[in-house]
Chain A
Amino acid sequence: GAVVSQHPSRVICKSGTSVKIECRSLDFQATTMFWYRQFPKQSLMLMATSNEGSKATYEQGVEKDKFLINHASLTLSTLTVTSAHPEDSSFYICSARTRATNEKLFFGSGTQLSVL
């Protein structure tokens, strides 16, 4: 099956710093990538959707200036949490959809962000 690589898997940072999370589709071209956030014991909440070469579409309530998404190529998308605060501590997961199989989403392994 298609593989999505996400790293880092875990990051601890100080309040006010920026953190970049990478999401790569290793063996397929991802036409669309999605970024989700998951708080403990809660479901995945979609943050934004990005298509290669175009600006990301953010969900209501998600600050686009705080969560910068870049989808520069068909195999790479990055999420940068700028000026992180403790309330940004969460599990961030990316997923990608292939050209060939529109039905399935393939998930990265997730990034646990802890902001001190």
Chain B
Amino acid sequence: GQNIDQPTEMTATEGAIVQINCTYQTSGFNGLFWYQQHAGEAPTFLSYNVLDGLEEKGRFSSFLSRSKGYSYLLLKELQMKDSASYLCAVRDPGSGYSTLTFGKGTMLLVSP
């Protein structure tokens, strides 16, 4: 089966750093994705990890440990516009179509 866990909500202040964790148990693994979703909008791609380690892209970084089934998204220098839901998704090649299974998302609220 598939199980992806992430915190439901987090709060942080403008200019701070926040880390959003994601743990997964899936029958197969072929990459982990982070998406940002503002209310009423479609998700937008943030990062992709398939090998262990840290991927840095501007203010956002994503880390993966395959042996631990663990990833985190690190957001630095938080801005008000970063208030959104952050979705962790795992690609499982076992389905034959390499579909993504999404976590329930972490709602991040950035306050002044």
Which A residues are within 8 Å of any B CB, using their own CB?
A: 6, 32, 34, 42-46, 49, 51, 57, 91, 93, 102-110, 112
Contact = CB atoms under 8 A, between A and B. Distances in A.
Contacts, number: 45
Interface residues of B, number: 21
B100 A57 contact: no
Contact of B104 (A43, A46, A51, A106): A43
B103 A109 contact: no
Contacts of A57: 97
Given A43-B105, A103-B48, A108 B100 contact: no
A43 B42 contact: no
A43 B44 contact: no
B99 A46 contact: yes
B16 to A, nearest CB: 24
B20 interface: no
23 contacts: A32-B97, A42-B104, A43-B102, A43-B103, A43-B104, A43-B105, A44-B87, A44-B102, A46-B101, A49-B97, A49-B99, A91-B40, A93-B42, A102-B98, A103-B31, A103-B48, A104-B45, A104-B48, A105-B45, A105-B100, A107-B44, A109-B42, A110-B41
B61 to A, nearest CB: 18
Nearest to A49: B97
A35 to B, nearest CB: 11
Interface in B70-112: 87, 95, 97-105
A46 B100 CA distance: 8
B43 interface: yes
Contact of B42 (A51, A102, A110): A110
Contacts of B97: 32, 49, 51, 57
A112 B40 contact: yes
Contact of A43 (B33, B87, B95, B99): B87
